[in-house]
Amino acid sequence: MNIIQIVPRLPPHTDGVGDYSIQLASQLLKGHGIATQFFVFQQGIKIEPIVAGFPATGIPAHTVEAFLSVLPKDITGIILHYSNYPYLRNKWDAPFWLVSALEKTVKQRNIKLIVMFHELPFLKFKNLNFLHPIQSLVSRRLAKSATTVITDSARFQAILERWLQHPVTCIPDFSTIGEPDDGVPPLSDRAPRMIVFGGSDRVRVYQNHLKGLLYSCQALGIEEICDIGKSLNLQPSDFPRVRLVQMGFQPAEAIRELMLNSLAGFIDYSRFPGDLGKSSVFAAFCAHGLVPICSCYNPSEADGLEMGKHYLVPDRSLQNLSSIQLQTLANNSNMWYLNHNIKQNTKIFASYLKSISCL
């Protein structure tokens, strides 16, 4: 079975959706015999013809005709990874042509279309969040033209179900750096190390939550902070009583090995209240059995995540936790993750691609 996955960008360009799609493609092929060809949406960037072993091509122009001209004859399914912002030229743009192209493809070729909503188009004004009036029209049309709709957020799920008037599948994100091969070691076998990993959210850890990070290290007996990612030129003098190791970019294998030998991971996901389940960094912490620490409470109970049960925050309660309590929390977060790991998520995509009919 051959399918297309449409993505904004692919490595070496930094893009979480691209990383997600590659992991998904690998597991679809390995576990289900479904082969992927990637269509890259963004123009003006160099696209390698083979990425992670999969063929990739750019959409030559943002028109219905250009899309249909490069669509292979032998495909039976399309997965659109839709996070609206990378598909826009400006804040008030909306890719209506893409909707038309997909609608025409589904109708003419009887192709199954899965739309995976990684984001919905919200505008923020002070403390208010509301759907973008123009871009939400595209999202709504995409949802209605799809044979299957999937999302990674219970908050988005509620909106999509309201639009469609039928159930929508919600699966929290998996770890895009991969998963351990042989389970996770107990915390007692790990080094007293804190992992800080990611992109822009990692920057905010140091800008806005350094005090909470250092407090967490003190309370848990952490001796080392390991920073992974683009160099931020951090100053060791800003990290008293804890050793700072700035590792820069690392291959996924090295990050996985480091996480398996560390006690905790710190993340700031306060920009996305209610959406902790869609953080691939949080997923990586859970997958590798660390103690996840969030900069603050994130109301993500709808995704099955509870403060104090699946993650901690830097408050006074940290000082009173026993090693048994920390291990129980790490076990809880790991078990939460295993319900939607790479294999489980891919199984859902494959079942919709191979089913006779989809909602």
Q: Is the pLDDT at 201 greater than 60, yes or no?
A: yes
Tokens linked to 329: 């929390």
User: Does one domain contain both 328 and 234?
Assistant: yes
Over range 82-89, report the average pLDDT.
Answer: 82
φ, ψ of residue 170 in degrees (nearest 5): -120, 120
Which residue in 87, 89, 84 sits closest to 132, CA to CA?
84
| Per-residue model confidence as pLDDT tens digits over 61-74 | 999 999 999 999 99
Q: Is the pLDDT at 357 greater than 50, yes or no?
A: no
Q: Is the pLDDT at 283 greater than 60, yes or no?
A: yes
User: Does one domain contain both 246 and 330?
Assistant: yes
pLDDT of residue 92: 72
Strands 128-131 and 122-125: antiparallel
pLDDT of residue 356: 55
pLDDT of residue 133: 84
Q: What is d(CA 345, CA 359) in angstroms, rounded to the nearest whole number?
A: 18
For residue 236, which amino acid is it? P
φ, ψ of residue 36 in degrees (nearest 5): -110, 140
User: Does one domain contain both 221 and 237?
Assistant: yes
Q: What is d(CA 23, CA 268) in angstroms, rounded to the nearest whole number?
A: 24
Strands 122-125 and 169-170: unpaired
User: Does one domain contain both 118 and 147?
Assistant: yes
pLDDT of residue 358: 40
Q: Would you say residue 178 lies in a domain?
A: no
pLDDT of residue 308: 97
Q: Would you say residue 176 lies in a domain?
A: no
User: Does one domain contain both 304 and 167?
Assistant: no
User: Does one domain contain both 19 and 106?
Assistant: yes
Q: Is the pLDDT at 231 greater than 50, yes or no?
A: yes
Over range 288-303, report the average pLDDT.
Answer: 97
Q: What is d(CA 101, CA 96) in angstroms, rounded to the nearest whole number?
A: 9
DSSP designation for 356: S
In CATH, what number is assigned to the domain containing residue 245? 3.40.50.2000
What's the start-to-end Cα distance of the chain, in Å?
Answer: 20
Over range 191-206, report the average pLDDT.
Answer: 92
Q: What is d(CA 226, CA 245) in angstroms, rounded to the nearest whole number?
A: 5
φ, ψ of residue 269 in degrees (nearest 5): -125, 30
Q: Would you say residue 156 lies in a domain?
A: yes
- Residue showing tokens 């912002």: 85
Secondary structure (3-state) at 18? helix
Range of 219's domain?
Answer: 187-338
| Per-residue model confidence as pLDDT tens digits over 125-135 | 777 788 888 89
Range of lowest pLDDT (45-49, 112-116, 299-303) = 45-49
Which residue in 291, 275, 110 sits closest to 186, CA to CA?
291
Number of domains present in the structure of the chain: 2
Range of lowest pLDDT (109-113, 120-124, 292-296) = 120-124
User: Does one domain contain both 162 and 248?
Assistant: no
Which residue in 181, 177, 171 sits closest to 195, CA to CA?
177
Using a pLDDT cut of 90, give the percent of the chain over it: 82
Q: Is the pLDDT at 35 greater than 60, yes or no?
A: yes
User: Does one domain contain both 147 and 245?
Assistant: no
Q: What is d(CA 45, CA 26) in angstroms, rounded to the nearest whole number?
A: 24
Predicted TM-score (pTM) of the model is 0.92
